[in-house]
């Protein structure tokens, strides 16, 4: 059994005697006898070697050898080794929330730089220190809108990641909040439908680009209507796409949220990821979560602290802007290191490379299958002749995760398959995939 | 230290992105392209690594400093946890894999299934979900489950009862879930005030949120009475697992009558705090809430294969994109495997031993508002030092000068000038003796030379920041 308590028998005796306790048991004498555990049947402890052997076996029994053409909001991007190296610094990962600024300048400055890069990337002004993930960030953005304009109806485009929409709906089951989903026109935003929903009752409009089917859109027009009606404009974005695509700021969004997985985080079966939230200045006091600010110390030296804490639960309790406490700080650290390594030109190129590879694949598949029209980034939709779910199973046997059958979330789209190609997919891989695809049809 | 943008040199790059055809841009119309440059800095790989490595050195952390931060359980995080979470069969696994083919994610599903069962045995609950990303997220899920339960029964409930000693997340989570908060006072022993509770209970109370042991570091001796009161009003009992580290193998919330339990895996089960996250706030429920759990539930079929079960009758939906912070869950799982039954009991015993040792050694020097056997943490106050103008925050800063991360201060709010010490079980007697001597020295200086304490810290790169200025002249980005 691996054990991490350092006490020797002698020390235990000494300590008990200093405490004035008869035995270890007497320290627990406040727990009434009838409340003792009815059972506590856990296996015997393992050595470190035994435990890691078991984990290694479990890890190996996951099928990760197949080549990934599956996205759905979570992508197979390359992570430079330096990201792991920096985030493996124990001074970062074994520290707590930086409530003691004199002992936490490292974490604080890193988050401050993260906030800056997210603001730059999105063209908006204020980023917080992170939220849990993309889906919970959408709820938090909707809650900000409701707090700001006092309305309670949320209009959300059905092209927003269905997983996120499920989270949003679950969050509000016990609140007087109306969620209205605007159905798509095939796989794109139905502008007429949304425009009809934008009235003075609406608190927020939530749209996503690229949407779940990969369609890249410009929402400037709908956001203009929102401005006229006092509706908060919330945009869900894909960080990697912002190397080339129009930013939330450029479209006029008030709040932009995203899952930051593409910025240096492994897929890891769904987490930990990174909830990104960034907004225009006017929303800062309504924002949830931690925010780092710059200030001066007693000697007028520049330094960083958690600021605007009066919004947060540990001060405001039930009147806080959110209940969030722990966030995804280490994931934000990975993102800031990733973005620093990529830099201005590297990030643009990686982003463009995604576009290039996916466009190439689209062209290849387009030669023999129906590719849905519309501008896309690194993901697009094809319509097969048969069931996409069955097709994906066939492709697994050929060594590929060929995409996401849309019917998982859109039951009426049984033959639609959503396919992604990131910068990691080589031309050879794409050629082979296209061939396998054709033969599986 | 200069910010990273000030180190940027035009034309420098930290990665070779590879060959790209600029013409690829033509695939998207000009109207969809970004106009402004990204504004990211331009640095070499070494520039970046050095910048962040030097930054890391400005932190106190568990691996470098004693970190007795009450309520946060800053125990040592075994390195095997990290090794497990970094295995390629886990890091490279796309979350949709299980949704399109459970067969391809058997190992990951087994981890989730297994840890859920272990946690059931540890807490006495019927089933766990790993979806919540953090403690407060678990609280929110728990209260949403409470709402779904009452709605199904046709109960008209509006309130959640929270003791005034609770973490701020309790009332905040209940409010996010749509409830109004009723606050109940704490009695002279540090437990919930039963008379005040009885007075405030009514038919519209949906649930009572309790932290056990309480945030004052003491056991709620009258917990069974609270459970009985809740039952009378058909209110659910919520167990905030922030302090679970004290009671492994000594008490199970399920046996006591709790309906919902959240566990902070980043506290009791030794996953690192990451400078504020990611954590994991897994939630366990009693029999009567099984039908409301989020989906998918990881289950085992008759052939022993692990599957995703969506058949939960009245499921509230989902609160996470997939299975929660899976990488964090892996670390906790590894830890539980290594410790096993005896190791888990041992850790709680040593955590309680260490806290009582600090209490015994320091009570002559610091005011102790609840002078009784404590659990895994002890709450002192700075009242004695207040007489000399020294406050809890001054003591905290003086500890930083002595190479110790301060305890939690000013929490719980019910104790003025609180200093909440949680040594955790992984710390040795020598480390605690070093801390105890530092605390004694500070208590002495508070009397003889209080200015020294009030000027602390002096050994760190920065002195005390002007927090008022930070909130008034908001500067939230480098530019």
Same domain, B217 and B282: yes
Determine, yes or no, domain membership for B72: no
Q: Give the pLDDT score at A1.
A: 80
Q: Do B477 and A57 touch (CB under 8 A)?
A: no
Question: B252 and B384 share a domain?
Answer: no
Which of B21, B476, B479 faces A293 most closely, judged by CB atoms?
B476
CATH fold label, A67-78+343-440: 3.90.1150
A409 vs chain B: nearest CA distance in angstroms? 11
Instruction: Please tell me if residue B315 touches chain A, with a CB cutoff of 8 Å.
Output: no
Interface test with A, best of B2, B17, B37, B360 (most A CBs within 10 A): B17
- CATH number for position B331: 3.40.640.10
| Residue partners of A410: CB distance under 8 A and separation at least 6 | A162, A416
Rounded percentage of chain A residues whose pLDDT exceeds 70: 100
Chain B positions in Cβ-Cβ contact with residue A7 (cut-off 8 Å): 350, 353, 428-429
Task: Classify domain A81-338 by CATH number.
Answer: 3.40.640.10
Per-domain residue ranges for chain A? 67-78+343-440, 81-338
CB pair distance less than 8 Å for A244 and B33: yes
What angle do helix axes B326-362 and A9-19 make, rounded to 10 degrees? Answer: 50
Which residues 342-401 on chain B approach chain A with CB closer than 8 angstroms?
A: 342-347, 349-350, 352-354, 356-357, 359-361, 372-373, 375, 396-397, 400
CB neighbours (10 Å) of residue B135?
28
Cα distances (Å, whole numbers) of residue A115 to A135, A291, A353, B172, B386: 19, 8, 25, 25, 38
Residue A2 has pLDDT above 90, yes or no: no
> Could you tell me the pTM of the whole model?
0.98
Domain shared by B268 and B367, yes or no: no
- Cα A116 from Cα A111, distance rounded (Å): 9
DSSP code for B79:
H
- Residues 6+ away with beta carbon under 8 Å from A98: A104, A107, A108, A111, A292, A306, B275, B276
* Domain annotation covers residue B473: no
Residue A315 banded pLDDT, cuts 50, 70, 90: confident
Distance from CA of A219 to the nearest CA of B (A): 10
**Domain count within chain B:** 3
Phi/psi at B237 (5° precision): -100, 125
Model pLDDT, residue B11:
93
- Residue A57: what pLDDT? 98
Do B199 and B237 sit in the same domain of this protein?
A: yes
Residue B175 belongs to some domain of the structure? yes
Per-residue pLDDT tens over the stretch A4-39: 999 999 999 999 999 999 999 999 999 999 999 999
Is B303 within a domain? yes
Q: Look at residue A173 in the predicted model and tell me its pLDDT.
A: 94
B138 contacts on A by Cβ (under 8 Å): none
Strands A67-68 and A126-127: unpaired
Beta-bridged to residue A420, according to DSSP, are A379
In a domain, B116, yes or no: yes
CATH number at residue B390: 3.90.1150.10
pLDDT over 90 for what percent of chain A? 97
Mean of pLDDT values over A44-62: 98
B161 CB within 8 Å of a chain A CB: no
β-partners of residue A258 are A237, A276
Handedness of CA B313, B318, B323, B327 (dihedral sign): negative
Residue B319, in any domain of the structure: yes
Nearest chain B CA: its distance from A260 CA (Å): 13
Cα distance between residue B250 and residue A419, in whole Å:
52
The tens-digit pLDDT sequence of chain B (479 residues) is 899 999 999 999 999 999 999 999 999 999 999 999 999 999 999 999 999 999 999 999 999 999 999 999 999 999 999 999 999 999 999 999 999 999 999 999 999 999 999 999 999 999 999 999 999 999 999 999 999 999 999 999 999 999 999 999 999 999 999 999 999 999 998 899 999 999 999 999 999 999 999 999 999 999 999 999 999 999 999 999 999 999 999 999 999 999 999 999 999 999 999 999 999 999 999 999 999 999 999 999 999 999 999 999 999 999 999 999 999 999 999 999 999 999 999 999 999 999 999 999 999 999 999 999 999 999 999 999 999 999 999 999 999 999 999 999 999 999 999 999 999 999 999 999 999 999 999 999 999 999 999 999 999 999 999 999 999 999 999 98
Order of strands across the sheet with A404-405? A370-371, A379-383, A416-420, A404-405
Domain-located, residue B201: yes
Strands (E), A290-332: 292-296, 302-306
| Residues of chain A with C-beta less than 8 angstroms from the C-beta of B204 | none
Chain Cα centroid distance, residue A152: 25
Q: How far apart are CA A260 and CA A273, in angstroms?
A: 6
Contact A61 B107 (CB under 8 A): yes
Say whether both B236 and B371 belong to one domain.
no
CB-side neighbour CA atoms (13 Å) of A226: 28
CA-nearest of B1, B411, B474, B267 to A108 is B1
Same-domain status, B240 and B287: yes
- Which candidate, A109, A148, A145, A147, places its Cα nearest to that of A129? A109
Domain co-membership, B272 together with B314: yes
The pLDDT of residue A108 is: 98
Within its chain, how far is the Cα of A116 from the centroid? 18
Contact by Cβ (8 Å): A238, A377: yes
C-beta atoms of A314 and B36 within 8 A: no
- Cβ–Cβ < 8 Å for B311, B325: no
Separation of first and last alpha carbons in chain B: 15
- In angstroms, the CA B249 to CA B251 distance is 6
Query: Is any Cβ of chain B less than 8 angstroms from the Cβ of A70?
Result: yes
Looking at residue B189, what is its pLDDT?
87
Taking CB atoms and an 8 Å cutoff, what residues of chain B touch A76? Answer: 94
Would you say residue B67 lies in a domain?
Answer: no
* Residue span of the structural domain in which B99 resides: 80-337
Between positions 353 and 392 of A, the ones with CB within 8 A of B are 353, 355-356, 359, 375-377, 389, 392
């Amino acid at each position: 059994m691996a054990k991490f308590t350092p006490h020797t028998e002698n020390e235990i005796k000494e300590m008990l005697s200093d405490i004035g306790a008869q035995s270890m048991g007497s320290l627990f004498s406040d727990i009434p006898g009838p409340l003792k555990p009815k059972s506590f049947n856990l296996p015997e402890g393992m050595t470190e070697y035994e435990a890691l052997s078991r984990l290694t076996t479990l890890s190996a029994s996951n099928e990760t050898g197949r080549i990934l053409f599956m996205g759905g909001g979570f992508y197979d991007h390359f992570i430079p080794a330096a990201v792991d190296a920096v985030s493996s610094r124990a001074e970062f990962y074994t520290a707590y929330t930086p409530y003691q600024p004199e002992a936490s300048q490292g974490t604080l400055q890193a988050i401050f730089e993260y906030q800056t890069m997210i603001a730059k990337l999105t063209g908006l002004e204020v980023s917080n220190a992170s939220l849990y993930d993309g889906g919970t960030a959408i709820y938090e953005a909707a809650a900000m809108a409701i707090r700001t304009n006092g309305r309670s109806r949320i209009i959300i485009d059905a092209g927003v990641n269905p997983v996120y929409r499920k989270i949003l709906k679950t969050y509000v089951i016990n609140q007087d909040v109306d969620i209205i989903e605007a159905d798509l026109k095939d796989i794109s935003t139905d502008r007429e439908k949304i425009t009809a929903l934008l009235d003075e009752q609406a608190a927020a409009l939530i749209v996503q680009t690229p949407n779940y089917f990969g369609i890249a859109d410009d929402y400037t027009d709908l956001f203009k209507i929102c401005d006229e009606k006092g509706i908060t404009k919330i945009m869900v974005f894909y960080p990697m796409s912002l190397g080339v695509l129009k930013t939330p700021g450029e479209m006029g969004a008030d709040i932009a949220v995203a899952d930051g997985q593409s910025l240096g985080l492994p897929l890891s079966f769904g987490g930990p990821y990174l909830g990104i939230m960034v907004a225009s200045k006017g929303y800062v006091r309504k924002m949830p979560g931690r925010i780092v600010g710059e200030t001066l110390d007693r000697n007028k030296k520049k330094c960083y602290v958690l600021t605007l804490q009066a919004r947060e639960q540990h001060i405001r309790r039930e009147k806080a802007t959110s209940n969030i406490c722990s966030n995804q700080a280490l994931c934000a650290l990975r993102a800031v290191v990733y973005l620093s390594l990529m830099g201005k030109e590297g990030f643009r190129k990686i982003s463009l490379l995604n576009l290039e590879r996916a466009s190439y694949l689209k062209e290849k598949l387009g030669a023999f299958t129906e590719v849905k029209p519309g501008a896309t980034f690194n993901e697009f939709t094809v319509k097969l002749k048969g069931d996409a779910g069955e097709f994906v199973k066939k492709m697994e046997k050929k060594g590929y995760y060929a995409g996401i059958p849309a019917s998982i979330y859109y039951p009426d789209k049984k033959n639609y398959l959503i396919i992604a190609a990131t910068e990691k997919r080589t031309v050879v891989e794409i050629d082979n995939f296209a061939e396998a695809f054709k033969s599986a049809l | 230290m200069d910010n990273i943008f000030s180190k940027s040199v035009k034309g420098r790059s930290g990665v070779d992105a590879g060959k790209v055809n600029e013409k690829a841009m033509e695939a998207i119309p000009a109207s969809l392209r970004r106009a402004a440059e990204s504004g990211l800095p331009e640095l070499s790989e070494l520039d970046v690594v050095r910048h962040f490595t030097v930054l890391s050195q400005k932190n106190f952390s568990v691996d470098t400093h004693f970190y007795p931060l009450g309520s946060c359980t800053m125990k040592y995080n075994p390195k095997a946890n990290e090794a497990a979470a970094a295995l390629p069969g886990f890091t490279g696994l796309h979350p949709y894999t299980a949704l399109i083919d459970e067969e391809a994610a058997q190992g990951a599903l087994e981890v989730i299934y297994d840890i859920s069962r272990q946690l059931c045995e540890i807490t006495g609950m019927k089933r766990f979900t790993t979806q919540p990303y953090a403690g407060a997220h678990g609280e929110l899920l728990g209260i949403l489950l409470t709402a779904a339960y009452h709605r199904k029964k046709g109960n008209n409930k509006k309130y959640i009862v929270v003791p005034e000693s609770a973490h701020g997340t309790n009332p905040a989570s209940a409010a996010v879930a749509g409830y109004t908060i009723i606050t109940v006072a704490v009695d002279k022993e540090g437990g919930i005030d039963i008379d005040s509770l009885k007075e405030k209970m009514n038919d519209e109370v949906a649930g009572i949120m309790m932290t056990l042991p309480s945030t004052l570091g003491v056991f709620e001796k009258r917990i069974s009475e609270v459970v009985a009161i809740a039952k009378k009003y058909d209110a659910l009992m919520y167990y905030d697992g922030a302090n679970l580290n004290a009671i492994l193998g000594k008490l199970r919330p399920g046996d006591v009558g709790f309906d919902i339990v959240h566990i902070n895996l980043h506290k009791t089960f030794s996953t690192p705090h990451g400078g504020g996250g990611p954590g994991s706030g897994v939630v366990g429920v009693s029999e009567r809430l099984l039908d409301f759990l989020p989906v998918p539930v990881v289950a085992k079929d008759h052939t022993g294969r692990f599957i995703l079960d969506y058949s939960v009758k009245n499921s509230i939906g989902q609160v996470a994109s997939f299975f929660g912070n899976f990488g964090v869950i892996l670390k906790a799982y590894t830890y539980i495997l290594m410790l096993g039954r005896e190791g888990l009991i041992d850790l709680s015993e040593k955590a309680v031993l260490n806290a009582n040792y600090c209490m015994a050694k320091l009570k002559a020097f610091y005011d102790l508002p609840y002078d009784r056997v404590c659990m895994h943490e002890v709450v002192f106050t700075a009242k004695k030092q207040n007489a000399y103008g020294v406050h809890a925050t001054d003591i905290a800063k003086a500890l930083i000068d002595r190479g110790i991360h301060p305890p939690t201060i000013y929490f719980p709010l019910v104790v003025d000038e609180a200093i909440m010490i949680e040594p955790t079980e992984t710390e040795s007697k020598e480390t605690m003796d070093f801390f105890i001597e530092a605390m004694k020295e500070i208590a002495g200086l508070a009397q003889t030379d209080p200015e020294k304490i009030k000027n602390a810290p002096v050994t760190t790169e920065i002195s005390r920041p002007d927090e008022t200025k930070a909130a008034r002249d908001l500067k939230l980005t480098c530019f």
